[in-house]
Amino acid sequence: MATTRRQGTGTAAGRGPAALVARLPRPHGTSAPLFAWLMVLPTVIVLLAVTIYPLIYSLRESFYRIELSFSPIPHWVGLQNYVDAFTHDPRFWPAMGRSFYLVGLGVAIELILGFALALVLNRLGRARTVVTALLLVPVMIAPVAVAIEGVVIFNNSWGPLNYLLAQIGVHGPVWLGDRSVALNSILLADGWQWTPFVAIIIAAGLRTLPEEQYEAAAVDGAGRWQLFRTMTLPLLQPLIIVTVLIRAMDIFKTFDTIYVMTGGGPGSATETASFYTYLQGLQFFSFGYAAAISYIQLIVITVVATLLVRRMRKGLG
């Protein structure tokens, strides 16, 4: 393709401008022209300035103890902040545990329900576009708005949810005030917002599957469940993995709904890693320590993100 184009323009326009053209479509070339580098320069500078530089700056801070409330003058403590996080802090690891609980259960529930919804969604005819658009409403609105819906709907004295449950004879729990329930209420809010996202992605993936193979398999007498297990799932596997990784990273970052719905409580029942980092930083003003535990979380997310990027690289070539 590229070679024919090169020859074509080369003979038509002589040497000067044609040489430029010859360099333009170069999908496998290694040296891009200066012009191309100048165009990416602003992005590289901005991203270095807003992510890498702050990270280096805070890496330095994480070796200091800075507590604006007690000792405003930072003093060097080496790796002590990290050692503290791993050994002395009774709140950090339970918080990490809650984050992983949300990730594990949230991803599983959203994937299963999303898959089921996707299968139903694809059975619709023309109405699918409208239904899809409506399902995007929860996905697009601000998590803080979702949290406010949660506070109103979960309210146990005047909220509509427990009223509805009472109508069918179920005594609803204290959704946000009960230690054993609150974390699951956060999970419910996340599932409400993101299950449609999973459903729409999977539905789009399902529509790309080759129909002929299905027909052939059906002729061979394969049952529905057998088709699903031996064809649909393996064919969709790359998409499912990408979806799982995206959701896992996002749920690990959950903060807004917790801040508004429970404030980490009752007690510390909904205190996740990201919420605990906020407490250390903006409530206790232990910036050095907050920087250290952000680094620990960054490493966790980087591992997941690397898996995701590697998977997408494979997919996109």
Partner 1 sequence: MSRRIAKDGLTWLVIAVALAFFLLPVVWILLTSFKAQGEVFHYPPVFWPKNIDFRHYSSVLQGPGGHALKDSLVVASANTALALLVGVPTAYSISRFRVGGQNLAFWILSIRMFPPVASAVPLFLLFRKYQLLDSYWALIIAYLTFNVPFVVWFVKGFFDDLPRDLEEAALVDGATRWRAFTGIALRLAVPGIVTSALLAFVFSWNEFLLALFLTRSQVRTLPVALANLVGGHEIQWGEIGALTVVAIVPVVVLALALQRYVVRGLAFGAVKG
The half-sphere exposure of 81 on its side-chain side, counting CA atoms within 13 A, is 28
Token pair belonging to 215: 């027909």
According to CB under 8 A, which residues from 153 to 172 bind partner 1?
153, 157-160, 163
Cβ at position 75, least distance to partner 1 in Å:
16
Cis bond upstream, residue 266 (ω within 30): yes
Total residues contacting partner 1 (rule CB under 8 A)? Answer: 107
Report the relative pairing of strands 64-67 and 71-76 from DSSP bridges: antiparallel
Cβ at position 283, least distance to partner 1 in Å:
11
Residue 253 binding partner 1, by CB under 8 A? yes
Interface segment toward partner 1; rule CB under 8 A; list 29-37, 87-95, 172-180, 209-217:
29-37
Please give the Cα distance from 247 to 187 (Å, whole number): 13
The strand pairing partners of 71, in sequence order, are 67
Which is closer to partner 1, CB of 152 or CB of 180? 152
Dihedral, 23, 25, 29, 32 alpha carbons, nearest 10: 60
> Under 8 Å CB-to-CB from 36, ≥6 apart: which residues?
none
Residue in this structure with the two tokens 């996202």, named with its chain if needed? 197
According to CB under 8 A, which residues from 40 to 59 bind partner 1?
40, 42-44, 46-47, 50-51, 53-55, 57-58
* Sole binder of partner 1 in the list 81, 243, 262, 270 (CB under 8 A): 243
* Sole binder of partner 1 in the list 102, 103, 117, 181 (CB under 8 A): 117
Residue 216 binding partner 1, by CB under 8 A? no
Q: How far is CA 165 from CA 53, 159, 258, 309, in A?
A: 52, 11, 24, 43
Residue 223 binding partner 1, by CB under 8 A? no
Cβ at position 88, least distance to partner 1 in Å:
20
Residue 298 binding partner 1, by CB under 8 A? yes
Which is closer to partner 1, CB of 183 or CB of 290? 290
Please give the Cα distance from 17 to 88 (Å, whole number): 68
Which is closer to partner 1, CB of 60 or CB of 180? 60
The strand pairing partners of 65, in sequence order, are 75
According to CB under 8 A, which residues from 64 to 103 bind partner 1?
none
